[in-house]
Amino acid sequence: MGPAFGDTMHFEDKITIPKLSDDGSNWVDYRDHVLWLLEAQSIDDHIDTDSPSTTYTAIGKIAGMEPAEC
């Protein structure tokens, strides 16, 4: 179950992403926020290779989980 109409999604780092409007009128703003979030979270490390990068595994536990579990 997602956020209610007009709500925003909140992440642990307090990054706020606007909810995409049903008619898509805020698509550009929504897209920019999502792309910024993915770049900030180093998504490139996850999609460039099939296995976790050494940068990712060197971080250690994240939210109590080992990199392999994530």
Domain membership of residue 18 (yes or no) is yes
Residue 3 has pLDDT above 80, yes or no: no
Give this prediction's pTM.
0.46
CA 41 to chain centre: 6
Our count of domains for the chain comes to: 1
Q: Of 12 and 38, which is predicted with more confidence?
A: 38
Domain boundaries, position 28:
14-59
Domain membership of residue 43 (yes or no) is yes
Element (H, E) at 31: helix 27-40
Domain membership of residue 49 (yes or no) is yes
Domain membership of residue 68 (yes or no) is no
Instruction: Determine the Cα–Cα distance for residues 35 and 53; give it in Å rounded to an integer.
Output: 21
At a CB cut-off of 8 Å and minimum separation 6, what does 38 contact? none
Residue 5 pLDDT class (50, 70, 90 cuts): very low
Average pLDDT in the 22-31 region? 94
Domain membership of residue 64 (yes or no) is no
Instruction: Determine the Cα–Cα distance for residues 38 and 61; give it in Å rounded to an integer.
Output: 20
Residue 64 pLDDT class (50, 70, 90 cuts): confident
